[in-house]
């Protein structure tokens, strides 16, 4: 975890240059995706560190309220992950996850958030490399979208805009 990834409050001491990195929340199921992240770790596969992981027993538990709460609190992206179909520890939990995810996606779309800020991925316990790949890809995608407009962390959004302006000034 780098200092860039800390909350704005803890970042206050850092003065130059103001930069922005996305804050991403990753929901991972205990049996596959979380273990997949572990595999990535023990295999020493490098990936971007701008996410916080929340472990749940099953991806079926991840109801719209969880994801929407993350966005409300200022997450720039949310990744929901679970076992591949047929691999679910609870037989059909990930099928429930899909149902919940569809609902969430509909509401997120209505709210006017970019759809790229939300993703559903299946990652098994053995797929450490895939975990790293998904994280890198998703982080890049969210970084391209910039800070969430709904971000409660207005401070970091402002500092991002400032850095963008100062970069433009420097270039010209």
Partner 1 sequence: MPELAKAAKQTRAWACYDCGKCTATCPIARAGGAYSPRRHVLATNLGQPSVIGDNGTLFNCLTCSLCDRRCPAQVNYTELVRKLRELSYREGVEPECPHGGALQSVMRMMATGGTEQRRMDWLGADLKTEPKKGEVFYWTGCTMYYDAFFPDLKVTTLEGTRAAVRLMNTAGVTPVVSAEERCCGHDLLWNGDRKNFELLAKHNVKLVADSGAKMLVTSCAECLRTWKIDYEPFFEGTPPQIIHITEFLAQQWTEFSFKTTNSRRRVTFQDPCRLGRHLGIYDSPRQVLAALPGVEHVEMRRSGPAAMCCAGGTWSNCDRFAKQIQVERLREARATGAEVLVTACPKCQIHFRCAMKDPKLGGEIEIEMRDVAELVAGALK
Is 145 near partner 1 (CB under 8 A)?
Answer: no
* 109 interacts with partner 1 by CB under 8 A: yes
Q: Give whichever of 62 and 83 is closer to partner 1, judged by the CB atom.
A: 62
In terms of C-beta density within 10 A (0-12 exposed, 13-18 middle, 19 or more buried), how is residue 9 classed?
A: exposed
Residue 170's Cβ-count burial label (10 Å; 0-12, 13-18, 19+) is exposed
Asked if 149 touches partner 1 (CB under 8 A), the answer is: yes
Looking at the Cβ atoms of 59 and 151, the one nearer to partner 1 is 151
CA angle in degrees (0–180, nearest 5) for 151-156-157: 60
Residues 70-89 that bind partner 1 (CB under 8 A): 71-72
Angle at 19 between CA 105 and CA 147, to 5 degrees: 15
Starting at the edge strand found earlier in the chain, the sheet holding 77-82 runs 51-56, 24-29, 77-82, 118-122
Q: Is 106 in the site for partner 1 (CB under 8 A)?
A: yes
Q: Verify binding: residue 164, partner 1, rule CB under 8 A.
A: no
Which tokens go with 59?
Answer: 């991806």
- From 7, 12, 19, 107, residue interacting with partner 1 (rule: CB under 8 A): 107
State both tokens at 77: 């992206």
**In whole angstroms, how far apart are CA 140 and each of 41, 79, 143?**
20, 13, 5
Which one of the spans 14-22, 32-40, 51-59, 62-70 is the region binding partner 1 (CB under 8 A)?
A: 62-70
Per CB under 8 A, 111 contacts partner 1: yes
Residue carrying structure tokens 């572990």: 38
| Binder among 57, 99, 166, 167 for partner 1 (CB under 8 A) | 99
112, 168, 169, 172: residue in contact with partner 1 (rule CB under 8 A): 112
Applying CB under 8 A, does 65 fall inside the site for partner 1? yes
Question: What is the binding site for partner 1 (CB under 8 A)?
Answer: 63-66, 68-69, 71-72, 99, 102-104, 106-107, 109-113, 149-152
């Amino acid at each position: 975890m780098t200092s860039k990834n800390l909350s704005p409050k803890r970042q206050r001491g850092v003065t130059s240059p103001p930069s922005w990195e996305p804050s991403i929340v990753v929901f991972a199921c205990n049996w596959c995706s979380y273990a997949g992240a572990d595999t990535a770790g023990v295999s020493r596969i490098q990936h971007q560190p701008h996410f916080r992981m929340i472990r749940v027993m099953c991806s079926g538990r991840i109801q719209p309220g969880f994801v929407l709460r993350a966005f409300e609190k200022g997450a720039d992206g949310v990744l929901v992950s679970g076992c591949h179909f047929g691999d679910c520890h609870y037989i059909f939990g990930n099928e429930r996850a899909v149902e919940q995810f569809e609902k969430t996606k509909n509401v997120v779309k209505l709210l006017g958030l970019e759809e790229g800020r939300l993703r559903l991925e299946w990652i098994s316990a053995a797929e450490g490399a895939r975990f790293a790949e998904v994280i890198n890809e998703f982080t890049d995608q969210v970084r391209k979208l910039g800070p969430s407009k709904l971000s409660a962390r207005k401070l970091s959004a402002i500092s991002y805009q400032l850095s963008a302006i100062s970069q433009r000034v420097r270039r010209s």
